[in-house]
Chain A
Amino acid sequence: MTPDGLAGRTAVELAELVRGGDVSAVEVTDAHLARIEALDGEVRSFLCLAGDTARAAAAEVDSARARGDELGPLAGVPVAVKDMFCTHDLPTTAGSRILEGWRPPYDSTVVARLRAAGAVVIGKTNLDEFAMGSSNENSGFFPTANPWDTTRVPGGSSGGSAAAVAARFAPLAVGTDTGGSIRQPAALCGVVGMRPTYGRVSRYGIVAYASSLDQAGPFATNVADTALLLEAMWGYDPMDSTSIPSEPEPALARLEDGVAGLRVGLVEELADVEGIQPEVRAAVDSARNLFEKAGATVEVVSLPSVEYGLSAYYIIAPAEASSNLARYDGVRYGLRAEAPPGEGYDVAAMNALTREQGFGAEVKRRIMLGTYALSAGYYDAYYGQAQRVRTLIIRDFTRAYERFDVLLAPTSPTTAFELGSKTSDPLAMYLSDVCTIPTNLTGATAISVPAGLDTAGLPIGVQVLAPALGEAVLLRAARALEAGFAFTARPKLKEVAA
């Protein structure tokens, strides 16, 4: 089997090939590393490639197989990891200059579980700095390009992970989703991206952005691979107090159970959101038809409070971020700004200069917003009010789920936009997450599934939403859409010297 034939196969296939001894895990890893080296020069989805550590992990899988050990569900399957996850053997930067070169002394729970399942961490992917952004242009290092059109953004913040999977640099990737950071880039890159229920996947070892909204989740080229990866990541972790203790309901095994009789609500306020691209709106209607054809019932549902979601999000997330990012002060790790010429360089001045040099504009903007929102005298009007809005949105969804099993909406109002087109207008950028944010505020689960291409040849994503702990029904519904859309297109990449 040629290496190029290996890079491009699904995770389920690769796991079977390795388990059956048809190929070695090292061959699989080498094939993907070779593809990255040949084609990532234009996309630039990785901040750091694992190389030798990936080959060593793959060799370990091969030895385990030779010994006759039982192999994990992801044995020999390459996984790209967003650079928000701590890895003890690779630098972890969160896309920020302030953490450049930092090597954590520990693995995040997600990475530890992936390794225990036999997965080969192939590299760390690019992202908006501290996951703050929707285009990857806020990376402290360089922007990642969309593999479908390298003049366009891959979305964000997990843009590197989405682009890497779309480019078949890895069959699987993990990302984090605080306001849509998995689903929006998945939609823009034409792959599947899922945000699990808050607390279903451990946050331990994931660099914190907004702790009450952050949640890790899988990327893949298809729904079955998504479920396979999810099942290797999720479950209770005593190291995360907000982790859900109950045993997850298996998802992969029930994937093909179909949607006959499933009650689907089409969210009016999101489907007709201001500025929605007509082709995206049309894709939502196609999804509706596909559901109905497969035996589900679809009705329009109104969730009036979701229109306040974006505003609430841009109070809560920056408030938590302003506190979470306070630890980057030059004292213990990461960047420490050198004393400028002249007098008066003390600890406070060092803290300030380090943060000034180490953080990018968007991170500073959100720290300022959040600091303001939590200040004495403003707390109740901003943070308190945003939490009340959050309660209202939760109430709207609870009511909707009394009538519906899942909900249907666009993932992002538009397909991938031009690099640089929104960088000077933060509010326009924020709007690209308007359809994904409500799930984060409610702590529930949602998935983006490719629904075809627009006239410019750019992928469109549709979103399925389910109540908390509804991963099994969510994935089953997503699988039905996937089968209906039968999206098989792949981006064409050029070889560019890195």
Chain B
Amino acid sequence: MSTNGWETVIGLEVHCELATETKLFCGCPNDFGAEPNTYVCPVCLGLPGSLPVLNERAVEFALRVGEALHCDVAEESIFHRKNYFYPDMPKNYQISQYDEPVCGNGWLAVPGPDGTGRRIGIERAHLEEDTGKTSHVGGGGGRIHGADHSLVDYNRAGIPLLEIVSKPDLRSPEEARAYVAELRGVLEAIGVSDVKMEEGSLRVDANISLRPAGAEKLGTRSEIKNMNSLRSLGRALEYEAERQAEVLESGGAVIQETRHWDEEAGRTYSLRSKEESHDYRYFPEPDLVPVKPSAEWRDQVRAAMPELPAARKARLMDAWGIADVDAGVLVGTPGLADYAEAAVDAAEAAGAPASGRDVANWVTGDLMAHLKESGAAPSSLALSPAGLAELVKLVGDGTLSRSLAKEVLAAALAGESNGSPAAIVADRGLAQVSDEGALAAAVHAVLDAHPAEVDRYRTGEDKDRKKLRGFFMGKVMAEMKGRGNPQVLNRLLDDALPTNS
């Protein structure tokens, strides 16, 4: 993107919480939402004498990410200590990989708006431990300065993070969003994280700078923090690109600094704090030994790699005959493609195969709208994939009209009748009537009751006839309490109505 002749250059640092059972260096549970300071032990509290022991599962997850992002996986990588004082850091140093990370030099193909896409370089992916969480109470508006007191919860301390650093290859806020969406899909597909940006299991910091279009040399960058959704990432980067353009165009210089995104105010602001000029005094962590994944282990990880989103998208488009945009929604929304494929599988298992296209239509349409509105995850819906398969079958065999099916879907999502469409149809008495005898009786009853209208129909202009036909159809449907099969009714009505004379 260029703003008034400026080219935007963006690099992203994505912190991904790895979904291991236990923390990175101890046996405490890696879990979200427990009572403060209950998932702690001497190691993650950094008590005197405690020592870290590396979680092998976290390394395996890093190896998976390395595979998925086409990285060079280091035969030997090491941990460093990053030294700085902060109350939520139990040891006042963070154990993190530094100049010898587990993964380096890879790429991720990011789809572009025109269906093509670009390879975005991955600089590195390294393991590190998370810090605790501090809440500042009173005084300073939630910030440490001026607070009356602070509370620290160390449940998060020591949770494994993988920091995935892109090269400065992204050229617009839109592309940055697409990169994170694609990366999120990859991390989800390979099962290493629950990728919830809102809960902080995926955190994105952005480095952004401008340079004159066509220039080689990078401009001075600012680092933007505190963006907790794809939307806020896009907004923050757009704001910051415009801010930097204004600074540069008014003859000023961009300051290299960290800026905080304020979601409500819709702007970034400088932290302007002394805390920024850190010398972290990195040195190799003497309490850990080098990580040396064996060739066998790496082969096993490679062999067990699941299908990645790009491949899955191509497969679904091909197998189900669905559009690029719909396949993109399925694969790009956490859990959605799994849900749709589970519904197709359930239909097959129930002996009533459903077309992937029909399932995808429901999933990307009504279901997606519900997810957006409710913020729910597909896996937690009251309507199970098997339930959706049931709904598709009810429409397919003529039991439900499309408009009634939408009603049933909404009821199932609301949890009515245990989310079972068949049960809802039964409980509400919604089954569509296709019995020709019953429908014909209704048609004739309506025509017999409106002889004047039938007469006008016989002699009327085309325009009036059309209107009258709609009138008869409405009456018949009302007679059938909305459950008449519309196709059959249309045919019966045409047969019963007199021809023009």
Residues of A within 8 A of B (CB): 85-86, 92, 94, 99, 102, 104-106, 108, 203-208, 211-212, 238-242, 319-320, 322-323, 326-327, 329, 331-333, 346-348, 351, 371, 374-376, 379, 383
Contacts and interface: CB of A to CB of B under 8 A. Distances in A.
A322 B144 CA distance: 25
Contacts of B92: 326-327, 329
**Which of A92, A206, A208 counts the most chain B CB atoms within 10 A?**
A208
B83 A326 contact: yes
A207 B48 contact: yes
B48 A99 contact: yes
A329 B45 CA distance: 13
A104 B49 contact: yes
Per DSSP, chain B at the interface is: loop
Interface stretch (B284-292, B305-313, B469-477): B284-292
Contacts of B93: 323, 326
A329 B85 contact: yes
Nearest to B87: A331
The residue among B42, B83, B287, B288 with the most chain A CB atoms within 10 A of its own CB is: B287
B152 interface: yes
A374 B49 contact: no
A104 B47 contact: yes
Interface in B53-108: 53-54, 81, 83, 85, 87, 90-93
A205 B49 CA distance: 4
A241 B52 contact: yes
B291 to A, nearest CB: 11
Contacts of B272: none
26 contacts: A85-B49, A86-B49, A104-B42, A104-B48, A203-B49, A204-B50, A208-B287, A212-B286, A240-B51, A240-B53, A241-B288, A319-B283, A322-B281, A323-B83, A326-B83, A326-B85, A327-B91, A327-B92, A329-B85, A329-B87, A332-B45, A333-B47, A346-B145, A347-B150, A379-B281, A379-B283
Contact of A320 (B45, B46, B286): B286
Query: Which of B48, B87, B279: most chain A CB closer than 10 A?
Result: B48
Contacts of A374: 83, 281-283
Contacts of B281: 322-323, 371, 374-376, 379
Q: Give the bracket for the number of chain B residues in contact with chain A.
A: 20 to 34
A202 B145 CA distance: 42
Given A241-B289, A346-B145, A374-B83, A383 B283 contact: yes
A348 B45 CA distance: 19
A241 B48 contact: no
Interface string B146-182: 0000101000000000000000000000000000000
Interface in B20-48: 42, 45-48
B50 A241 contact: no
A238 B53 contact: yes
Contact of B54 (A241, A322, A327): A241
B92 to A, nearest CB: 4
B287 A242 contact: yes
B152 A331 contact: yes
Q: Identify the interface centre among A92, A105, A241, A329: most chain B CB within 10 Å of its CB.
A: A241
A319 B83 CA distance: 11
Given A242-B287, A242-B288, A383-B283, 14 more contacts: A92-B49, A99-B48, A104-B47, A104-B49, A108-B49, A204-B51, A207-B48, A329-B85, A329-B87, A332-B46, A348-B85, A374-B282, A376-B281, A379-B282
Contacts of B145: 346
B283 A375 contact: no
A322 B282 CA distance: 12
Nearest to B93: A323
Q: Would you list the 10 A-B pairs with minimal beta carbon distance, nearest first? A: A326-B92, A374-B281, A211-B286, A212-B286, A205-B49, A207-B48, A86-B49, A376-B279, A327-B91, A331-B87
Contacts of B91: 326-327
A376 B84 CA distance: 14
Nearest to A330: B87
Contact of A94 (B48, B52, B144): B48
B56 to A, nearest CB: 12
Nearest to B79: A241
Contacts of B279: 375-376
Contacts of A351: 85
Nearest to B47: A104
Residue of A105, A331, A371 ringed by the most chain B CB atoms within 10 A: A331
Contacts of B81: 323
Contacts of A238: 53
B47 A105 contact: yes
B51 A239 contact: yes
Contact of A241 (B51, B83, B90): B51
Contacts of A102: 48
A100 to B, nearest CB: 13
Interface-centre pick from B49, B53, B288 (highest chain A CB count, 10 A): B49
A210 B92 CA distance: 16
Given A327-B90, A327-B92, A203 B51 contact: yes
Contact of B289 (A105, A242, A375): A242
Nearest to A108: B49
Contacts of A204: 49-51
